[in-house]
Structure 1
Amino acid sequence: MNTVFMQVQAFYNRLLKATMKGERNMKYESEIRRIINENISNICKVDLRIDDNLEEKGMDSLCFIKIIVDIEKECGINFPEYDLLPSKMNTIRNFCNEVNRIKY
């Protein structure tokens, strides 16, 4: 009985940790979404979903750099130069993951 309780408790702790990590990964989603929409709105007039490919929606290299600069200011981070690849950060989710990787 004690072993079953410990297994359930361990499962609950893993589930809680995964849930908290997911919440943390999306912590900056609203700010990042706003920044991206501000920079892409004159190109793309549709609402962007979290996994929409931003390059397909009109994000060019100049727009990408503007988004990077705005996110750095808003979130108080500096992206490493080797991470500045539009192909790596081409969705809202990817931007959120990179910000959280740097912050945490």
Structure 2
Amino acid sequence: MKPVLAILLLVSMFLSVSFLQFTMAESTTGDAPTPSFCDSKCGVRCANAGVKDRCLRYCGVCCQQCNCVPSGTYGNKSECPCYRDKLNSKGNPKCP
């Protein structure tokens, strides 16, 4: 009887820790933008892009890091200096 009780206790502890990790992974931190904020802003920003999936990917990365996306489909980068100043490894602008 004692081994069965010990196994049940271990299984319940494992399940509760797994649930706690899942719950913590879902929560957002402080001022970080929500994915829906970035998705909607980047959708507008990349509406006329030639390679839309690449534009959305890089715009999403920049949005998460900078907490902003310039308005319009091109230009206006002065609205968000962090977004404007991000460079890739070749020294070109990273954010669309």
TM-score (norm 2): 0.48
Larger Rg, first or second structure (1 or 2): 2
Between 1 and 2, higher relative CO (CA 8 Å, sep ≥ 6) is seen in: 1
TM-score (norm 1): 0.45
